Structure 1
Amino acid sequence: PSFPQGNSECINGYFGLSTFIHNPRQGFLRHFYSEDVVEQTNWNYWEDMAWLFGRDKYGLVESTWDNEGVQYGLHALKQKKITLAEFVHINKNIGSWKAQHQMRAETIVTPFGRKMPFWISLWGSDNITQVIDNELAPRGSASLNAIEAAYRGGQVFIGKLDLPIIDVRHYLEEKLDMHHMSASFSTRLRLQQANGHYDNQVIWVAKRDFDPTNQAFDMMDSWLLKRKEFPELNATQSRPVQLQDTCFDDKGSIVAQGDNVWHGNWNNLDHSKKVIKRGLCAEHYAIFSNSRIQAEGPWQGSVFKCHKIPFEQAIKQGMYADIDLAEQLASLRTIFSQGVCDYSQGDAGRPSDL
């Protein structure tokens, strides 16, 4: 394949790590394993979860990955940042990962040894579905049984937690780095949804040149000691008064702290608003979203497999705001012939008793 245009945090954060370090079949850890072990093992997360997710008819572990009905770029379309033709092109071509039994190892040559690989198949291009003969790139469908098992087996954080949390991270949004800010706020929203509040979570963010980890440990120590001294108090009640949401500059000075400093798009549930008033920390350190959020999925990241509604029903419900779909209506009906995601219904695979 040709060199791709653009990049992503997934490529920078996981590509070499997952396929060349964690996978002894093709990585430089191979000599630590016997040949029999290397060849007999499927080296991936799914195989680790075989005991919980179960196996498909090919003997491979069922997957929770799904993107059927996802309307990539929907928010940008409604904000008029992309055209309707671009929206159609994205959703026709985006596809998914191939079914596991169709996947193959990356094409890598190592003329100078395994620590200096040359990648022939770039960005996992051999393992994604493609548009063929002007048809749609097929989307991926998850196993509902595997999703339910993930919830019941404790693989999904659903917010039911009454422990002290200090979420400390460097601000890396402008870098292609997998330690993205949205994770802090998906956690916060899950806590809110489960408990009615997120008072037991504090978020600290600093520039890369300053590391507040030691201060965070000191504050956590105070928090835990108070809980030990007063066991009748819950995590919220025992939280030190001076411990608040905070953002720091590169010298360690506090830019802002207190309630609402992280107010931003993550807790703006009205997708129709183009501009919202952000808190001081969110203004200083912009919180980026991701492709599912741009498809108007929840910031919680809490939907493995969406409930779908017919495309025509989505139009009637005003899902596309004032966008005139007429010139691409036939294409959109074809792309979303099985329906589009209605995120208001939650996760199709989440057990109703959780």
Structure 2
Amino acid sequence: MNHWTRAAACALAAIGLTGCGGAAHAPHSRVHLAVLSSAPEMVSGGDARVAVSAAGEVHGKLTFRLNGQPIDPPMQAQGERVEGVVSGLAEGKNLLEVAYLNDSGRTVSDALVLTNHPSGGPVFTGAQQQPFVCRTQESGLGQPLVDNQDGIGHPVFDQPGGRLVGHSKSCAIKTQIHYFYFNGESFKPFDAARGYGAPPADLKTVTVAGASVPYVVRVEAGTINRFVYTIAMLAPSAQRADTFDTASWNRKLVYWLRGGVGLGHQQGTAIWFNGGLRGAERQIISGILAQGYAVASSSGNETGVHYNMRLAEETAMMTKERFIEAVGRPAFTIGIGGSGGAVQQYLFAQNRPGLLDAGIPVQSYPDMVTQTIPVADCPLLEQYFNEEAARDPASMWAVWSRRRLVEGMNGSDTVLNPVTDKPGSTECINGWQGAVPTVLNPVYKDPRYELVAKNYGYPADVFAAVKWTHWNDLANIYGAKADGHAPSPIDNVGVQYGLGALLAGQIGKEEFLRLNACVGSWKEPSQFAQWDAAADPFDARNMQRSAGCRDPGGLPAPRRAGDIGAMRAAYASGHVFTGQRLDIPMIDVRPYLEPALNMHNARQAFSVRARLLDANRAAAARQVIWFTAAQADQGARALEALAVLDSYLTTRRAPEGFSDKCFDAGGAVIGVGPSAWDGILNRAPQGACSAAFPVYSSPRMVAGDSIKGDIFKCRLKPVATALRDGTYADTVRFSAGEREWLERIFPQGVCDYRFGDQGRPPRW
């Protein structure tokens, strides 16, 4: 067997197509072929950056074959190896072989099977969504390319308002190069052909590696996996437009991720174009680029575009692959992003090790899907409180700040309420009221979808079959029932709302019983009606209620049992952050927003840590938590965190700055070190940061759940057992009539959270 066929046979044997007398990478071969841009089985776009290393000098001594045919890819020396981009891969499996004439005059070889996927995707996420609105025009990047005449996808016209020339399923555009310069406040378009010789008067300079260079940025824009990606890097001098000038690159990559809550069916827009860089984003990205980092991003990594975390993971993987092919493999990659952009970092670390090497989640949650638990509770509770306050102006619930006794989240008597337009509100309203329909209501859609579709020439009924919930958006994960609706895990069977307040003497037995009898639950998705925020702010028409619930002898409002299969799918697909894996350092940066009743509440950082402590205590040491008193300070803190993580990854050990910490409104450190947050997750006296920044809870925590907040469905115990086992302590004694009412409210039993608080998925 010659040197070509032996390597090929071994590579093919690895995928079960032939036999091999030995390993493809036998120690005596002294040559090794590797893919740098992706895993060999997850190549996309028809090309891959590869490296060849051997015991001796290899440059100029290599020959390549792709699928049996000689090729001559451009290779460059990188230390003791050579690397370059191999192009022309066919879709599916490809055999890449390399042969090397070593110093002994012996030819040795190696081979790899590369599985190539389309640049438009998918790689592993399955069938792509339709309808799907392409939005490259809104980014100033032109219409997408026509890829079919079958009427599938986005309409493409020969000119605005002109003749229809075809449709685009992939939303693809040709790769484009744009230049921008920084004037100290914003990025402006830059004419690279003329500007270096006659720069704009307001062009700033930046010092990188001791050299002062013009602050000009080269941005490559294109489409990958149907989303718009960008790669940005300093461009200090005139250069060929088809290559990156890496003279000022520090060999490190920042992957930028965005937040929001979206339901798919659209491409999103690019961050660099048409004023796409937002407030704090501009501050942080300008600081990152000024230090020589490259910045990659994709509209597919904005949760305001979609909340499919597997699709986000796939998109980031493919975008980073493109970066490595175009620029080279970075020394390391650090993720930065807020809200849903922060969620992505935790889930990428859990589900795709190696995609990121460190992360700076800003205003994070552990994941999105477990946030649907309090999101679903909030309107039920607020509707009850409002009805009670309307019935009796002297009701305790007419005082907004008292609602926190049951909701756990903060409430204020002075913060403006967006529903009443008067002082007095809660986080349930100011933070979460608008999120409910996108989670639960399949017939509610953001009106901007229809407006955009109309402007692009879609038929009026293009979205008629779409069911607008997170669960249906991920129907390939959760499945769908015969009626087309995806199963939902939303469940409140056995939840004793306000239990903690009852035990603390903050509400009485009658109020506790009436609350739980009347709070009700959500209807099944097939029963939902359209939401009118002005007339029905809490979507009460879609709740299961009971007119006689206030009467001890009346019929309690029913509770809803969630779909167990959907719960299991959420865990199995990696949409729940379990805490079992966090192999990279993370600095969780959070402005303290509790006084504003903002949805990015302080509890979330500790929910992450609690899951880590329960599942993998070693991993918990890789997460540190920074709070700042002022939201305006979060940009400076994010850049400080970047410097700390850069040091961590460069030296391969945690620097002194990698520690829990909090800052006052002036940026001065209030507390730092292992005890800074004492009293939140342990029983130690309050630390300096814990005292400065009070952490609130949630409706389920008041009902007995832990701060982890990862239980969709609690394990139940009979009410009779709860009455005996200390659930109500010695201070709450129910009369016979009250016990009978409790039994009718909870015919299936009440939650026993002791069996769902061990760092494991819920017990069913």
Q: What SS is found at the alignment partner of 2:588?
A: strand
1:72 and 2:497 aligned: yes
8 Å CA contact 1:209–1:250 kept in 2: the answer is no
Higher RCO (C-alpha 8 Å, min separation 6): 1
Q: How does 1:126-205 map to 2 (within 5 A)?
A: 126-133=541-548, 134-159=554-579, 160-197=581-618, 198-205=620-627
Aligned length: 327
Q: What residue ranges of structure 2 are gaps of 5+ in the alignment?
A: 1-382, 390-399, 401-424, 549-553
Q: Of 638, 663, 679, which residue of structure 2 is paired with 1:264?
A: 679
- 1:292 is matched with 700
Q: What SS is found at the alignment partner of 1:36?
A: coil
Q: Which moved more, 1:298-307 or 1:197-206?
A: 197-206
Shift of 1:229: 4.4
Per-residue deviation, residues 82-109 of structure 1 (Å, max 9, x unmatched) = 111111011111111211111111136x
Shift of 1:62: 0.5
Give the TM-score normalised by structure 2.
Answer: 0.40
CA distance in 1, matches of 2:487, 2:514: 30
More helix as a share of residues:
1
Shift of 1:309: 0.8
8 Å CA contact 1:19–1:26 kept in 2: the answer is no
- 2:667 is matched with 252
Q: Of 458, 461, 473, which residue of structure 2 is paired with 1:36?
A: 461
Q: Which amino acid in the other structure matches residue 285 of structure 1?
A: F
In structure 2, do the counterparts of structure 1 residues 172 and 131 end up closer, same or farther at CA, with 3 Å as the change threshold? same
- 1:87 is matched with 512
CA distance in 2, matches of 1:166, 1:64: 31
Q: Which amino acid in the other structure matches residue 484 of structure 2?
A: G
CA RMSD of aligned residues (A): 2.7
In structure 2, do the counterparts of structure 1 residues 347 and 79 end up closer, same or farther at CA, with 3 Å as the change threshold? closer
8 Å CA contact 1:212–1:252 kept in 2: the answer is no
- 1:350 is matched with 761
In structure 2, do the counterparts of structure 1 residues 148 and 43 end up closer, same or farther at CA, with 3 Å as the change threshold? same
Q: Which amino acid in the other structure matches residue 185 of structure 1?
A: F
Per-residue deviation, residues 261-305 of structure 1 (Å, max 9, x unmatched) = 21234445xxxxxxx732221111110111000001011001111
CA distance in 2, matches of 1:168, 1:351: 29
Q: Which moved more, 1:38-47 or 1:219-228?
A: 219-228
- 1:282 is matched with 690
Among all aligned residue pairs of Structure 1 and Structure 2, give the percentage whose two residues are the same amino acid.
34
Q: What SS is found at the alignment partner of 1:40?
A: coil
In structure 2, do the counterparts of structure 1 residues 77 and 17 end up closer, same or farther at CA, with 3 Å as the change threshold? closer
CA distance in 2, matches of 1:18, 1:27: 16
Larger-gyration structure (1/2): 2
Q: What SS is found at the alignment partner of 2:516?
A: helix
Give the TM-score normalised by structure 1.
Answer: 0.84
- 1:272 is matched with none
Q: Of 485, 493, 502, which residue of structure 2 is paired with 1:60?
A: 485
CA distance in 2, matches of 1:18, 1:144: 21
Q: Of 104, 108, 116, which residue of structure 1 is paired with 2:529?
A: 104
More strand as a share of residues:
2
CA distance in 2, matches of 1:89, 1:17: 27
Q: Of 708, 715, 730, which residue of structure 2 is paired with 1:307?
A: 715
CA distance in 1, matches of 2:436, 2:494: 28
Shift of 1:214: 3.0
Shift of 1:245: 1.2
- 1:334 is matched with 744
CA distance in 1, matches of 2:757, 2:465: 35
Q: Of 433, 437, 440, which residue of structure 2 is paired with 1:15?
A: 433
CA distance in 1, matches of 2:663, 2:461: 51
- 1:235 is matched with none
In structure 2, do the counterparts of structure 1 residues 66 and 19 end up closer, same or farther at CA, with 3 Å as the change threshold? closer
- 1:219 is matched with 641
- 1:273 is matched with none
Q: What SS is found at the alignment partner of 2:625?
A: strand
Q: What residue ranges of structure 1 are gaps of 5+ in the alignment?
A: 109-118, 231-237, 269-275
In structure 2, do the counterparts of structure 1 residues 90 and 164 end up closer, same or farther at CA, with 3 Å as the change threshold? same
CA distance in 2, matches of 1:25, 1:158: 31
Shift of 1:350: 2.8
